[in-house]
Amino acid sequence: MKKAYILSLGALALLASCDDFLQKEPLTSITPNNFFTSADDAESSITAVYDALQGAGAYGQDLFTMGEMPSDNSTSVSNDVNALETIAWTPNTSQVGNVFRQAYLGINRANIVLKYVPTITMDTLRRSQIQGEARFVRALCYFNLVRAYGGVPLRLEPTESAQPSELNLPRATPEQVYEQVVTDLQRAAVQMAAANPNRATKNSANALLARVQLTQRNWAAAQAAASKVIATNIQLNNSFRALFPAENKGAESLFEIQFAGTPDGGNLLPDEILPFPLTTYSFSKFNLPTAELIAYADTVNDQRWSFVGNVVNSTGRLIGRNHVSYIDSRKNQAPSINNTNDRGAYPYKWTSSGNNFNSVDNSYVLRYAEVLLNYAEAVNEQNGPTADALAKLNLVRQRAGLAALTMGSAQAASKQALRNEIDRQRRLELAFEGERWWDLLRYARHNQAEAGAHTVTALDLIAQFRKGERDVNYLLFPLPQAEINNNPQLQQNPGY
């Protein structure tokens, strides 16, 4: 870790975007004793924890590119993401370093909250909720780290010293990291509010816990966590199309990253994935739908992928055909059509103007549709096709305009048949939302334990770009070289 993570600078970061701080008398130094003294300070500190998730190294950009670009969902000719596109990343690849560093920024801010907020005299219920929210974000950050890099240093206290003995921790095992993630989420689910606009809630914690347990193939635990969300009787939005862009649209949104559309609180991603003139200017975009994905989808009957009308700009100029999950801009009439940057297919789950790389569009992290798919997968893996698993899967299918499956359907003829259908619906439902590569990674590990469980895995994509070699080393990203250089206790992942 670097000196930028020590508490004094971290505390300044906590305060930087808090309006009430501007009304306070200047302090000669920021310390726990003079900052963590009021309920307002507690609220400011948890706001700073959430703020870490907005960064370019988190859900402001790189978690979406890392989660999609190596996969069969996405492609790009941009040099900025070429290492991800071609599965040729190294310890010096920018996204590899950005995601690692931003996750630890969020972890350190959460650790600060968990150490100092309990000392504040304030409403006890709200104080407990704030601690639960910090545990949720810490768990989310560690989960993103462990599935990307494997075992990482497990830091559960704020960094308050620049001494190497405190900064330089060894890697914990993946099992130890996952154990901490589960512990944090279980405690968070107890502490957090059932409803809390624009913040994480009990359902957020249990939804993430279901994803975590699914990743580890802990099927019963994944089912149990998903069941807790389902038991709250929330509903899918009636319209898939109306879900996008994410703007806290109903109960289906279990957790999303909030963006204000300002220079210090805007979303980078829409400018990087949409065609001009929806964006600030024309350049080679990221996370573009592959031709294989569009051919895989039913673009006639599936309401997540079917044509619903044209997209035009404010002057009526045609930008493309709206297929809900993507926009077909092959006939884009933008002034920049003398190049190929704005012609083709683009994700359309973010739709607002780029606004100089400060879009107001939020980004989903957890949706109820995924919880239903997680539940169906967990039940099928334990018991094979059941009416219970089909009922949850059918909610997702029928919202998309697809017919309900029955126990007599071909897709429910066996565990393998239903597994294939769940995999298909997961890909089509969650496309471009940053989960496809992580799903392909867990499919590869599932196949290692049970040959042939999934028809496509990360190893198929790895072989495509690694001269036919199904190199298992690429099931993990390397640790950033800068971290290896700074911390002599870190050992690099094999193959790098």
Least confident of 22-36, 216-230, 234-248: 22-36
- For residue 267, give both structure tokens: 């979303």
pLDDT at 18 over 50: no
Other beta carbons within 10 Å of 247: 14
Would you say 436 and 72 are in contact if contact means Cβ atoms under 8 Å apart?
Answer: yes
pLDDT at 442 over 70: yes
Fill in the amino acid letter for 344.
G
> Quick one: average pLDDT of 365-389?
98
Nearest one of 49, 430, 466, 375 to 240, comparing CA atoms: 430
Q: Residue 64's pLDDT is what?
A: 97
Q: Residue 10's pLDDT is what?
A: 46
Would you say 256 and 248 are in contact if contact means Cβ atoms under 8 Å apart?
Answer: yes
Going along the chain from its start, the domains and CATH numbers come out as 3-201+479-486 (1.25.40.390), 291-349 (no CATH)
Work out the mean pLDDT of the chain and round it to a whole number.
92
pLDDT in tens, 461-494: 999 999 899 999 999 999 999 999 999 999 999 9
> Quick one: average pLDDT of 278-298?
95
Q: Distance (Å, rounded) from C-alpha 291 to C-alpha 490?
A: 40
Q: Residue 355's pLDDT is what?
A: 85
> Quick one: average pLDDT of 14-33?
45
pLDDT at 245 over 80: yes
- For residue 431, give both structure tokens: 């496309």
Task: Return the SS3 of 147.
Answer: helix
Q: Residue 433's pLDDT is what?
A: 98
Q: Distance (Å, rounded) from C-alpha 25 to C-alpha 486?
A: 37
pLDDT in tens, 195-222: 988 899 999 999 999 999 999 999 999 9
Q: State how beta strands 326-328 and 309-312 pair.
A: unpaired
Helix (H) or strand (E) holding 466: none
| Confidence band of 6 (pLDDT split at 50, 70, 90) | very low
pLDDT at 7 over 50: no
Q: Distance (Å, rounded) from C-alpha 281 to C-alpha 264?
A: 20
Least confident of 112-121, 312-321, 382-391, 430-439: 312-321
| Confidence band of 168 (pLDDT split at 50, 70, 90) | very high
Q: Residue 89's pLDDT is what?
A: 97
Q: Distance (Å, rounded) from C-alpha 157 to C-alpha 351?
A: 40
Q: Residue 30's pLDDT is what?
A: 56
φ, ψ dihedrals at 312, nearest 5°: -125, 160
pLDDT at 252 over 60: yes
> Quick one: average pLDDT of 411-427?
98
pLDDT at 12 over 50: no
Q: Residue 310's pLDDT is what?
A: 95
Would you say 299 and 86 are in contact if contact means Cβ atoms under 8 Å apart?
Answer: no
